[in-house]
Amino acid sequence: MYDTQTSLEIRKASAAMEFGKAVKEFKLDKSRTFTVATEKMKGMDHGPNHTEGDPLEHSQLYVAELNSYLKIHAQDFSAQEARLLRLGGALHDIGKAGTQKYDAVSDRQNKWVGASPQDIVDAKRLIYTIAIDLSSGVYKDRYPDLEPEVLAIRKEVGTYSETKLQKEFLRLSADVVSEIIRREVDLRDHRALVANFRDHGKKSAEMARGIIQEAQVELSPEEQKLLDYLIENHMQLLDLADLSVEDLSDPKKNQGPLKIFEKLFVDGEKGMRSMNEQKIKMLLALTYADNASTHHKGESNEDRQKAFERIVHALTELRSRMAPVLEKETQDKKVEDVLKEAFREHGSLATYLMKEKGKSGKEIGAATQAVKKFVQEHVDEDLETLYEKVVTFAQTF
């Protein structure tokens, strides 16, 4: 799937045409929100993670890579699923124009930027200085168009204590500070100051709903819900590429990824939960497209391919670890349901053991565990017969 022969520039030209086909297919150009957002994405600083180009060029490559994946894995997707993925691919980063922030480079990004410790200190100081100047009104006359946003920030931070004020003001003023940086700062002088797009998945999903209404794309409520999920979570699996085989075998290191897997792919109430195979395969398709279309500095096509293979391996391992957890939950619920029904007229098993058998304290606990074990061993038998067996077994205590 990974094209190791064609140059990036040729692939970008072809990708632009494929993106145009998606726009035409869903009539996205009828949406003013879409048109304005994509125009803003052109030439935008895409940060150190994207040497392939601006957010629009990345989105075009993304759609092309997704189409390649869908073609090869056609048997894995229904026509409805493929359509939803193509729509999600075209809109997955539409929120980047509204979420661009400038931050001091992270440790992970710094392997591509190469900022010194002093560069990072200077970047943080610059952000802080702009925020303080903003709060004191330095930019009021220079940028009157920003004043309504600034006033809103001041009103909100006015309720905070002094110890909380600095941190909260920096957080609330991030949009305005970033806008001032875009207008005033020569980024060539600040290696450690980089563009980021935190929470752009949520923003993209929010904007996508409006775009779909404007373009009059027909989606059922279930399709809209799934599309929201796909766009909002399209980046969630990318970090799995950083997990080594050793990490996956270490319960402490895979605890976090396992919780993410559970949140993303496990549906239903406890005792009746199951893995959503549709979500797994569809989100994996978007993960492939994002991984294949994101070019880090010094990274080759082979590097991206190996990264995706690690993601697939990690996903497989996490799936295998989640399966017995869900099986145990289901088994435990079956046992509890049998005990509840078998001792319904007594109130509960514990009440039966106390009133009918004269048990107390640790005796009730030990007897309860023994009865539960008995139920586990016979839980697949006919229920009506099993209820009688369980009561008869409990009578032996």
pLDDT digit string (tens) for 118-130?
999 999 999 989 9
Q: How far apart are CA 211 and CA 59, in angstroms?
A: 16
Residue 275 forms beta bridges with which residues?
A: 266
- Contact (CB, 8 A) for 315 and 307: no
Residue 106 domain-assigned (yes or no): yes
Number of domains the chain contains: 3
* Tokens read off for 290: 């994002």
Residue 336 domain-assigned (yes or no): no
Domain of residue 65: give its range. Answer: 8-99+202-319
Per-residue pLDDT band for 297 (boundaries 50, 70, 90) equals confident
Q: Is 220 left (phi over 0), alpha (psi -120 to 50) or beta?
A: beta
Same domain, 174 and 109: yes
- Contact (CB, 8 A) for 376 and 336: no
Residue 1 domain-assigned (yes or no): no
The overall average pLDDT reported for the chain is 92
CB burial class (10 A; 0-12, 13-18, 19+) of residue 3? Answer: middle
Q: How far apart are CA 91 and CA 362, in angstroms?
A: 60
Residue 178 domain-assigned (yes or no): yes
pLDDT at residue 384 in the model: 86
Same domain, 309 and 373: no
Q: How far apart are CA 89 and CA 65, in angstroms?
A: 10
Q: How far apart are CA 394 and CA 266, in angstroms?
A: 36
Task: Give the residue, 196 or 150, on which the prediction is more confident.
Answer: 196
Same domain, 239 and 219: yes
Predicted structure pTM score = 0.88
Residue 334 domain-assigned (yes or no): no
| Domain end marker among 196, 215, 249 | 196
Same domain, 281 and 217: yes
Same domain, 92 and 106: no
**Amino acid in the structure at residue 373:** K
The top-scoring range by mean pLDDT among 30-44, 125-139, 150-164 is: 30-44
Per-residue pLDDT band for 160 (boundaries 50, 70, 90) equals low
Half-sphere exposure of 82 (CA within 13 A, CB side): 14
